[in-house]
Amino acid sequence: MILSELNNRRRALVAEMPINSVAILSSANRNYRSRDVENPYRQDSDFLYMTGISEPDLLNIIYGENGKIFSILFRDNNTEQEKIWIGERLNNSQILENYGFTEIHSYEGCHKKLLDFIKNKETIYIETSLNKELDKFIANQISNSSQNNRLNSLFPKKIAALHSITQKLRLVKSDYEINLIKKAAKVSIKGHEQAMKKSKPGIYEYELDAEIRYIFNKNNMDCAYMSIVGGGNNACTLHYINNNDILKDKNLVLIDAAAECEGYASDITRTFPVNGKFTEEQSKIYDIVLEAQEKAIEFVKPGVTWDQVHEITIKIIVSGLIRLEILSRDIDEIIDSELYKDFFMHKTGHWLGLDVHDVGTYENKLFEPGMVITVEPGIYIDSSNKNVLEKWRGIGIRIEDDVLITKNGNEVLTKDLVKKRNEIETVCSH
């Protein structure tokens, strides 16, 4: 983590807070798999954004005073026992130097010490329900302060939602952040290519899942989210993660999987034939989704809204389905009455960043350079849908890329992964 990046973020946070405010951030809790066995630790995204540190049991206070930015960390050096069981981690003086904190104090008993930094402030910016102890402490202070106690009367009176600021900051990515998403994308692409090469009828969905995970892990990355590997009709279950079915000849397989690099997610979906060759029906549906995706991406640029992008994909998908006689009314009627939702029931994309479905509002938000989004239309024809000819049933296709909005338009961060039918068939044949 480069220091200038962290300092820019701290400065930006302070600039967004009213004068005489303080932000209090808590690290994410440990998460247990069963009894005392922990899941791999994942830092809270806001905390990671403001501190760069991926450890539990931390508290961070940020405020500005006389034009100077203060970032106070509460953290304990590891004990001898921890050194034996878990190993060494950086000590507080290394952390102070590498991450640019103004001071470090002990985490043990930090609530009392906290008061030194927040008394006389007017507003606390915080995310409640992340750290129950801290929530309780603050609630107590506030109720005491209303009781005319002289010391407690110095406690801030207002509580505000920290995410109202952090989501705004996190929405526009710096070059440093974009580079991390690019790194994650590069490894994700390798994973998808590997799955295309290894796919064949008779193997199980989890085998392709494992191929992808192997590539990610081999590159020192992990999955940004649970991989979706859905063969045949399983592709019609939008968040299918069982991945335990057999992959059948002449079926498609939809893979939505991507790696995370230093907290930053990529998010890619490709759909390809299990045996490497698209059937006629699959080809027809595939080309509609691809056209919708490419036209939507072409349209992405500063000043555009999500609604506009979604409208383009809907139009192309609906006219495609009419052409194939899967839908049979007038295009405007289908769009107005949302009849297409039997086949395309989700939005065209989402923000991407530290969270795979990243923070940020959607309604009327204009795209700006530095924002990163996914564009991922799909068509899903469930095998139980008796309103369409049998030959179409059980086809589920989604194509998803990660797109950076630039000054003049956009850059597809995942463009190196094949998506035209003939290109996919070529990779599958290797």
Per-residue contact flags (x/-) with Mn ion for residues 230 to 269, judged by CB under 5 A: -------------------------------------x--
Task: Tell me if 374 contacts Mn ion by CB under 5 A.
Answer: yes
Please return the burial class of 198, using the count of CB atoms within 10 Å of its CB with bins 0-12, 13-18 and 19+. middle
Residue 411: which H helix or E strand, with range? strand 410-412
76 is catalytic: no
**Helices 3-16, 163-171: crossing angle, 10 deg rounding:** 130
Query: Where does this chain touch Mn ion (CB under 5 A) — which range of 48-56, 60-68, 229-237, 367-375?
Result: 367-375
Tell me, by CB under 5 A, how many residues bind Mn ion.
2
Q: Is the CB of 14 or the CB of 265 nearer to Mn ion?
A: 265
Minimal distance, residue 97 CB to Mn ion, in Å: 38
Per-residue contact flags (x/-) with Mn ion for residues 75 to 114, judged by CB under 5 A: ----------------------------------------
36 is catalytic: yes
Q: Is the CB of 105 or the CB of 350 nearer to Mn ion?
A: 350
State the pairing for strand pair 158-161/123-126.
Answer: parallel
105 is catalytic: no
Task: Tell me if 401 contacts Mn ion by CB under 5 A.
Answer: no
Per-residue contact flags (x/-) with Mn ion for residues 267 to 296, judged by CB under 5 A: x-----------------------------
- Neighbour tally for 272: CB within 10 Å: 26
Residue 32's alpha-carbon distances to 51, 57, 81, 355, in angstroms, are: 24, 15, 20, 20
* Marked catalytic residue, from 262, 346, 421, 425: 346
Give Dmax (Cα) for the chain. Answer: 79
Query: Where does this chain touch Mn ion (CB under 5 A) — which range of 62-70, 183-191, 374-382, 422-430?
Result: 374-382
332 is catalytic: no
Please return the burial class of 18, using the count of CB atoms within 10 Å of its CB with bins 0-12, 13-18 and 19+. exposed
Q: Is the CB of 227 or the CB of 374 nearer to Mn ion?
A: 374
192 is catalytic: no
Minimal distance, residue 267 CB to Mn ion, in Å: 4
Answer for the pair 322, 328: CB distance below 8 angstroms, yes or no.
yes
Using CB atoms, what's the residue nearest to Mn ion? Answer: 267
421 is catalytic: no
Minimal distance, residue 181 CB to Mn ion, in Å: 13
* Marked catalytic residue, from 44, 260, 376, 402: 376
Please return the burial class of 119, using the count of CB atoms within 10 Å of its CB with bins 0-12, 13-18 and 19+. middle
- Half-sphere exposure in the Cβ direction for 119 (13 Å, CA): 13
430 is catalytic: no
Per-residue contact flags (x/-) with Mn ion for residues 138 to 177, judged by CB under 5 A: ----------------------------------------
* Marked catalytic residue, from 177, 209, 267, 358: 267
358 is catalytic: no
Backbone angles phi, psi at 230, to 5 degrees: -115, 110
Q: Is the CB of 127 or the CB of 267 nearer to Mn ion?
A: 267
* Marked catalytic residue, from 9, 380, 393, 402: 380
Please return the burial class of 279, using the count of CB atoms within 10 Å of its CB with bins 0-12, 13-18 and 19+. middle
Separation of alpha carbons 307 and 368, rounded Å = 15
- What's the N-to-C CA distance of the chain in angstroms? 38
163 is catalytic: no
- For the residues of 50-95, what is the DSSP string, one character each? HH----SS-EEEEEEETTEEEEEEE--PPPHHHHHHT-----HHHH
Minimal distance, residue 376 CB to Mn ion, in Å: 5
Backbone angles phi, psi at 404, to 5 degrees: -95, 130
* Marked catalytic residue, from 105, 393, 398, 401: 398
Answer for the pair 232, 252: CB distance below 8 angstroms, yes or no.
yes
Residues annotated as catalytic (active site), given as ranges: 36, 239, 256, 267, 346, 350, 357, 376, 380, 398, 400
Residues that bind Mn ion (CB under 5 A): 267, 374
